[in-house]
Amino acid sequence: MTELMQYTITGLSLGMVYSLIALGFVLIWKSSGVANLAIGQLVLFSSWFTYGMLVQAGLPPWLGIPLVIIFALMLGWSVERLALRPLIGQPILSLIAVTLGLAYFIEGLVGIIWPKSLASLPPLFPQEPLRIGSAVIRQEFLWAAVISIVLFVLLSIFFKYHRMGIAMRATADDQKAVQACGIPVTRIFSQSWMFACVLAAVGGIRISSIGNISKAPLVEMGLKAFSVVILGGLDSFLGAIIAGPIIGLAETIGGGYLSKVAWEGVREVIPFLIIIIVMIFKPYGLFGEKRIERV
């Protein structure tokens, strides 16, 4: 029982981070139809940048974290401006290929700037473990979950009531009609990239403040976010929010119990197993919109 409780809380907390990162993916996909294959690398880059700010520059978190957010905004803006905008109007496959190139570019760049393979951030959340019933959980997990929930709420309000948020959803529906309304679509694209990068940065900070900063697990975050997106449906914000905790729980609960009977790394496989099963039975994901695509 105690074990289950622990697995549940870590799973939910982890899953919400997946959701955050996945939301960034869905945002870009919805507004511009581009599958951003570089999300894992964006997480990686912003994690290392956080390390640069908090450890190398020695800034306190209240100053360092906002700087990371500003960095993420600039990163998103420049990626859209330099890598994607010149290709507007080209086949969508070239745009996706560009994001793949971007992924390797960022990975290389990070390798050059931070040649270390492992680093850790100073703790950002209180460290004392929390007792809920008989279960002992690290407080950080709760804080991380709270931050994710706050961000979900802010994002929903933005998409529901803000002029720009409504326009972003409109762009997802009908790009041409948006342009006929005199709305600059390019601005919408660049904003969605900026948002996605901020979400990736928040996810990265959360993951690397609890674990370590190293390449493989952070890049893998991108893959996990993919599985969330595919489970929830590529074009559904709600799907991303719900599918994240599902994947997170499957990973911790399933992985936790299975690794006792099966081999050690089973936990890493479970999310991808889920994708395969979902793709067989629900090719559009749990909340995805059914669409007839002509290929």
Partner 1 sequence: MPKCTPLATKMLKLNNIEVTYLNVIRVLHGVSINVPEGTIVALLGANGAGKSTTLKAISGLLRLEEGEVTDGSIEWNGERIDKKSAEEIGKLGIVQALEGRHVFQHLTTEENLLVGAFNRHNRQEVRHDLEMVYTYFPRLKDLRHNIAGYLSGGEQQMLVIGRAMMATPKLMMLDEPSLGLAPLLVEEIYEIIKRFNTEQKTSVLLVEQNVRVALSIAHYGYVMENGRIVLDGTADFLKNNEDIKEFYMGLSALGSRKSYREVKHYKRRKRWL
* Residues forming the site for partner 1 (CB under 8 A): 89, 163, 166-167, 169-170, 172-174, 176-184
Structural tokens at position 221: 């975050």
Min dist. Cβ of residue 173 to partner 1 (A): 4
Min dist. Cβ of residue 184 to partner 1 (A): 5
Q: Rounded distance, CA 269 to CA 288, Å? A: 23
Nearer to partner 1 by C-beta: 83 or 164?
164
Q: Rounded distance, CA 204 to CA 52, Å? A: 13
Min dist. Cβ of residue 25 to partner 1 (A): 18
Query: Which residue matches tokens 């460290």?
Result: 127
Structural tokens at position 183: 């709305």
Nearer to partner 1 by C-beta: 153 or 177?
177
Q: Rounded distance, CA 155 to CA 133, Å? A: 33
Nearer to partner 1 by C-beta: 30 or 215?
30
Min dist. Cβ of residue 172 to partner 1 (A): 7
Min dist. Cβ of residue 274 to partner 1 (A): 26
Nearer to partner 1 by C-beta: 150 or 181?
181
Nearer to partner 1 by C-beta: 170 or 258?
170
Min dist. Cβ of residue 151 to partner 1 (A): 22
Nearer to partner 1 by C-beta: 56 or 179?
179
Measured CA to CA in angstroms, residue 280 lies from 8, 83, 276, 283, 287 at distances of: 27, 34, 6, 6, 15
Min dist. Cβ of residue 171 to partner 1 (A): 9
Residues 267, 255 contacting (CB under 8 angstroms):
yes
Nearer to partner 1 by C-beta: 115 or 182?
182
Measured CA to CA in angstroms, residue 144 lies from 12, 139, 203, 213, 252 at distances of: 10, 9, 9, 17, 16
Q: Rounded distance, CA 79 to CA 87, Å? A: 12
Residues 72, 197 contacting (CB under 8 angstroms):
yes
Measured CA to CA in angstroms, residue 270 lies from 57, 224, 277 at distances of: 38, 10, 11
Nearer to partner 1 by C-beta: 105 or 158?
158
Min dist. Cβ of residue 88 to partner 1 (A): 10
Burial 245-284 (b: 16+ CB within 10 A, else e): bbbbbbbbbbbbeeeeeeeeebbeebbeebbeebeeeeeb
